[in-house]
Each structure stands twice: as structure tokens, then as C-alpha cells.
């Protein structure tokens, strides 16, 4: 029994130490608003300038509009979206391409199938929905690139991946997805959701960024923005939900022969695909090459200066501003073309009228940033910034500690509302409540400890007293009944 009591005493010590060492939360739920991140894939920064967009305009009046936002390089879907939700440049988060590939086997997987290659995404960085959940929040993701993966054994609390052959342009489906996300906020009580729409990217690719089809799709996007805000109001979320709308890249019109001299690698003197162990070409304006052993310089010299619109770099010589070299997945030679040009392999097999993946300094690659909600200022247009900084902003809005990242909250701090007296009071109350809770837990543990000590002392005292009484009785009996030797008969 004494051993059990000592064990209980040890447990109490442990509880007390844990209570006293537990971190204080500086923000209670009353000070945190919900957050919805929306991406409209391929929405170029100026798409609202040749189309009437009353809902996007109203959102700008009620909140924030950046002149434009600069995506990371390489300006394609998966790498750019993963930058949004990790706050890291592409070379640091490791999702370097839309396609998973294996240079040993030569295997490649297209965009959709790559969503399910777990190790492509789970390579050291975690998206914001995992960070939020680790700090006590509930998060979800619908169709956002990276949703299908598991990160260090964890997934979003609620998630949905689009079917393989999904119609990204179906407006009815868009509204159903919006309704689903609003249910996640109001019924499932999620704190954060990432929501992805695959347009106007698909339309921009097929018809080109200057086409009437693209303009019609932007009108659909605008109607959807209006629908989102109306449902937010109907669900009484207007004062409790921050909304960020952005995208992964812009779009550029593709130039073709005979108007221009196209880039076709097989026609370049001195270059041969036989000198390559592995390659990714015929994928817009960017290509990755792995020359066979000992042939790196030969391939490089053949391609360098081979076309006035083609840029050829050894991996270690990539411009630092692109942040696209310091990763083992990036192959030794990287090629990219100027806006309007794509890189063909053997023959031209790319027929898109619009493309992206160009230098992120090109204006055609710039995208949008809009924000509205209780934590944002109103009717403010701000200078351009890089989308790598959106992650730090989102962590601040959710009141969570960010993972190490390449962004900075200081870049976007000027778009945030200054604290009102009510918010300051709420924050103070939250801190005080947190402190009092910690003190209460500590005192409870200490009280439990004292109770156990009291019980141990009491039991020990009673045990000694009984033992003493038992001795006394035994001595008295011995005195009354002295031992005698029995006689034999």
C-alpha cells in the first residue's frame, strides 16, 4: 500500500510540473475569426479590366485589392499552390513540378495522378491545414492541390479530392462546392478551409487569354464571388469569416510559326536526345534535362544561345531571384522560354493557345490578390507583393504559430485592421483567462499532492499506533500468563 501511495505521489508531481510548464495561449477563440482561402487557377492580374466584374469590384471596396501578386517560379499549378500553403519558395518545399517523375525508370505521372504520390508532397513541409490542426484548430481542403496527400501521418480534418475526369468549368458544381464549404464552417465548425477552382486556367489554355471564351469565364468567376459572399451573409458569417482570393499564375498567348520561329530542340545543331538519360519537355515553356554521365557540358553548350527566346542554365547557375536550384529534385539542366514561346522536343506537339510557367517577373504571369473580412481594412489598394507572403498572413489571421517559411507578415501587415478596444479587451481577457486556468490547474495538482501526502501520513500514523497497541497488548498477556513446563504422566 505504501508503494501505491508513493506512485500516486509521483504522478501528482508529474501533473503539477506539466501544468506549470504548459504554454499559455495568447488568443482565445473569441479573438480568432475563421478563414477561407480561395484559388481561381490561372486568373491573370488584369482579367477584370476587360470584363464587367461587379462582385470582385464590390469585394475590393469592402476590403483589400493588390495591384497584382507575383507567384513563385516555376509558375505552374502544384508548385505555386504549395507555396501559398507553406510559405516556402519552390526549391525549399520540393514540389518542383506538376509531374512526379523517376529519372532511373523514366516513369512520369501527369498532374492528377501526381496528387496521389504521397512522397512527392510529404517531403518535409506541411500545408497550413496541418499546422492549424496541430494547434487545436479544425481545417479542411476541397480540391486544393496537395489535398490528397498525407503529411507526416496527418490529413485535413475534412477533405475532398475531385474525380479524375472532372469538369472544372461546371458552374452548378461550383455552387454546390461553395455550399459544402459553408456547411463545413457552420455545421462542422471548421476554422480554416482551402477551396480550389480550376478556372479560368483551362479556358485560358484552350482559347487563349485574349479570347471571348476567357472573358465569359471571368464573368462566371465573378458570379461565383457574388454567390460566395451572399451565402456567407445568409449563414451569418460576415462578421466572423475572412476571405482571401488569389491564384497560382497568369497566362500568356502562345506564338506559333510562321509568325515566329518556334523552339524545337531536335532542330538545334549539336543537340541529340541520345545524350540524355531523362527529360521533361513538351510541357509549356519549361524543360528539365538529365544528360548522361560526362555529357553535361556537351548538351549545355549545344543549347546555350541556340535560340534568342530560349534560356539555358546549369542548375547551380540559375538566377537566385527565381529560387529554383537548391533542391535535389531539380535536374542538372533547366530551360525556359520567353513569354509566348513553348519548348518542343522532336516536333511541335503542343497546341494550347495560352500557356504559363514563364519567368515570374513577366507581367503575364502576375495574378490577383483580394481579401475581405473583419480583420481587413476597407477600400484599400496596396502595392504588389509575392504570394510567398500569404502563408504568414494566414497564420496571423488564424492566430497560429507558423512553420519555418520564406515569407514575412510585415509585407502584408498594412492591410490588417488595427485592434479595436473591444478586440484588445478580448485579447486581455483571453490572456488573463489562460493564466487563471494554468494557475487553477497548478493549484489543483498541488492540492491533490497535499491530499495524498496527508493520507500517507495519516495511514502511517494509524499503522504505527495500531502496531504499538498490538505490542502493548501482547506484553500484558505475557505478564499475566507466564510460561510453565508441562509434566509427564
Contacts with 252 (C-beta within 8 Å, 6 or more apart), sequence order? 209, 339, 340, 354, 355, 356, 358, 362, 364, 365
Question: Which residues have CB under 8 Å from 13's CB, separation 6+?
Answer: 449
For the ranges 101-115, 116-130, 425-439, the lowest mean pLDDT is seen at 425-439
Q: Which of 82, 21, 25, 22 is nearest to 399 (CA)?
A: 25
Q: How confident is the model at residue 483, as a pLDDT?
A: 41
Q: 189 vs 157, 158, 250, CA distance in Å?
A: 11, 11, 34
Closest CA to 310 of 281, 290, 276: 281
What is the rounded average pLDDT of the residues 407-432? 69
Q: Give residue 447's pLDDT band: very low, low, confident or very high (50, 70, 90).
A: low
Q: What is the pLDDT averaged over residues 350-378?
A: 98
Q: Walk me through the domains of the chain, giving residue ranges and CATH numbers.
A: 34-253+358-418 (3.40.720.10), 265-351 (3.30.1360.180)
At 11 the pLDDT is 40
- Residue 428, pLDDT above cutoff 50: no
Mean pLDDT confidence for 243-251: 98
3-state secondary structure of 312: strand
pLDDT for position 190: 98
- The percent of residues in the chain predicted with pLDDT above 90, rounded, is 79
Report how far apart, in Å, the C-alpha atoms of 111 and of each of 97, 99, 266, 267, 315 are.
9, 5, 26, 28, 23
Query: What CA–CA distance (Å, rounded) separates 234 from 230?
Result: 6
pLDDT surpasses 50 at 9: no
Task: Write phi, then psi, for 65 (nearest 5 degrees).
Answer: -135, 125
- In angstroms, the Cα distances linking 50 to 57, 219, 249, 255, 337 are 13, 10, 18, 22, 27
Q: Alpha helix locations (H) across 273-320?
A: 296-303
And the C-alpha cell for 467? 502496531
Give the pLDDT confidence score for residue 432 in this predicted structure: 39
Q: Quick check: 148 pLDDT over 90? A: yes
Q: Using CA atoms, how far apart are residues 474 and 467, in angstroms rounded to an integer? A: 11
User: Mind listing the pLDDT tens digit for each residue in 274-305?
Assistant: 999 999 999 999 999 999 999 999 999 999 99
Identify the helix (H) or strand (E) that includes residue 204: helix 201-207
Q: What is the pLDDT of residue 31?
A: 79
Is residue 433 pLDDT above 60, yes or no?
Answer: no
Residue 324 in contact with residue 91, Cβ under 8 Å? Answer: yes
Please determine, for residue 365, whether its predicted confidence score (pLDDT) is greater than 90.
yes
Select from 390, 372, 388 the least CA-distant residue to 380: 372
Q: What per-residue confidence (pLDDT) applies to 225? A: 98
Enzyme catalytic residues:
77
Note the pLDDT tens digit of each residue in 334-347.
Answer: 999 999 999 999 99
Structure confidence at residue 452 (pLDDT)? 45
> Binning pLDDT at 50, 70 and 90, where does residue 477 land?
very low
Residues 6+ apart with CB under 8 A from 215: 50, 51
Average pLDDT over residues 253-258: 96
User: How high is the mean pLDDT of the chain?
Assistant: 87
Amino acid at each position: 500500500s505504501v508503494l501505491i501511495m508513493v506512485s500516486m505521489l509521483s504522478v501528482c508531481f508529474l501533473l503539477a510540473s506539466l501544468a506549470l510548464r504548459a504554454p499559455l495561449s495568447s488568443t482565445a477563440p473569441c479573438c480568432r475569426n475563421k478563414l477561407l482561402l480561395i484559388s481561381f487557377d490561372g486568373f491573370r492580374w488584369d482579367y477584370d479590366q476587360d470584363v464587367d466584374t461587379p462582385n470582385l469590384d464590390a469585394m475590393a471596396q469592402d476590403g483589400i485589392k493588390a495591384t497584382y501578386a507575383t507567384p513563385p517560379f516555376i509558375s505552374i499549378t502544384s508548385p505555386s499552390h504549395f507555396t501559398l500553403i507553406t510559405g516556402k519558395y519552390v526549391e525549399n518545399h520540393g514540389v518542383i513540378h506538376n509531374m512526379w517523375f523517376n529519372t532511373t525508370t523514366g516513369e512520369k505521372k501527369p498532374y492528377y495522378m501526381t496528387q496521389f504520390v504521397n512522397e512527392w508532397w510529404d517531403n518535409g513541409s506541411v500545408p497550413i491545414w496541418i499546422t492549424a490542426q496541430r494547434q487545436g484548430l479544425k481545417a479542411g481542403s476541397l480540391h486544393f492541390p496537395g489535398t490528397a496527400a498525407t503529411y507526416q501521418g496527418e490529413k485535413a480534418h475534412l477533405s475532398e479530392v475531385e474525380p479524375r475526369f472532372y469538369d472544372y468549368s461546371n458552374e452548378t458544381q461550383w455552387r454546390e462546392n461553395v455550399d459544402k464549404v459553408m456547411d463545413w464552417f457552420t455545421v462542422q465548425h471548421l476554422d480554416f478551409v482551402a477551396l480550389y477552382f480550376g478556372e479560368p486556367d483551362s479556358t485560358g489554355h484552350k482559347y487563349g487569354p485574349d479570347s471571348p471564351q476567357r472573358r465569359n469565364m471571368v464573368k462566371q468567376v465573378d458570379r461565383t464571388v457574388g454567390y460566395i459572399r451572399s451565402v456567407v451573409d445568409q449563414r451569418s458569417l460576415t462578421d466572423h469569416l475572412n476571405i482571401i482570393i488569389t491564384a497560382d499564375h497568369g497566362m500568356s498567348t502562345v506564338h506559333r510559326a510562321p509568325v515566329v520561329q518556334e523552339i524545337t530542340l531536335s532542330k538545334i545543331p549539336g543537340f541529340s536526345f541520345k545524350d540524355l538519360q531523362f527529360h521533361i519537355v513538351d510541357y509549356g515553356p519549361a524543360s528539365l534535362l538529365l544528360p548522361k554521365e560526362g555529357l553535361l557540358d556537351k548538351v549545355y553548350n549545344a543549347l546555350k544561345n541556340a535560340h534568342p527566346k530560349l534560356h539555358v542554365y546549369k542548375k547551380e547557375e540559375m538566377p537566385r531571384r527565381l529560387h529554383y536550384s537548391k533542391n535535389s529534385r531539380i535536374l542538372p539542366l533547366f530551360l525556359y522560354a520567353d513569354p509566348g514561346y513553348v519548348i518542343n522536343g522532336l516536333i511541335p506537339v503542343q497546341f494550347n493557345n495560352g500557356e504559363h510557367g514563364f519567368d515570374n517577373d513577366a507581367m503575364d504571369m502576375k495574378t490577383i490578390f483580394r481579401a475581405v473580412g473583419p480583420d481587413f481594412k476597407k477600400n484599400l489598394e496596396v502595392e504588389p507583393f509575392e504570394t510567398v507572403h500569404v502563408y504568414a498572413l494566414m497564420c496571423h489571421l488564424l492566430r497560429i504559430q507558423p512553420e519555418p517559411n520564406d515569407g514575412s507578415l510585415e509585407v502584408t501587415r498594412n492591410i490588417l485592421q488595427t485592434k479595436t478596444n473591444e478586440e484588445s479587451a478580448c485579447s486581455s481577457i483571453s490572456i488573463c483567462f489562460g493564466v487563471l486556468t494554468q494557475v487553477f490547474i497548478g493549484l489543483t495538482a498541488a492540492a491533490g499532492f497535499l491530499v495524498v501526502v496527508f493520507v500517507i501520513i495519516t495511514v502511517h500514523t494509524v499503522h504505527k499506533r495500531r502496531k504499538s497497541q498490538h505490542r502493548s497488548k501482547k506484553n500484558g498477556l505475557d505478564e499475566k500468563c507466564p510460561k510453565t513446563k508441562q509434566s509427564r504422566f
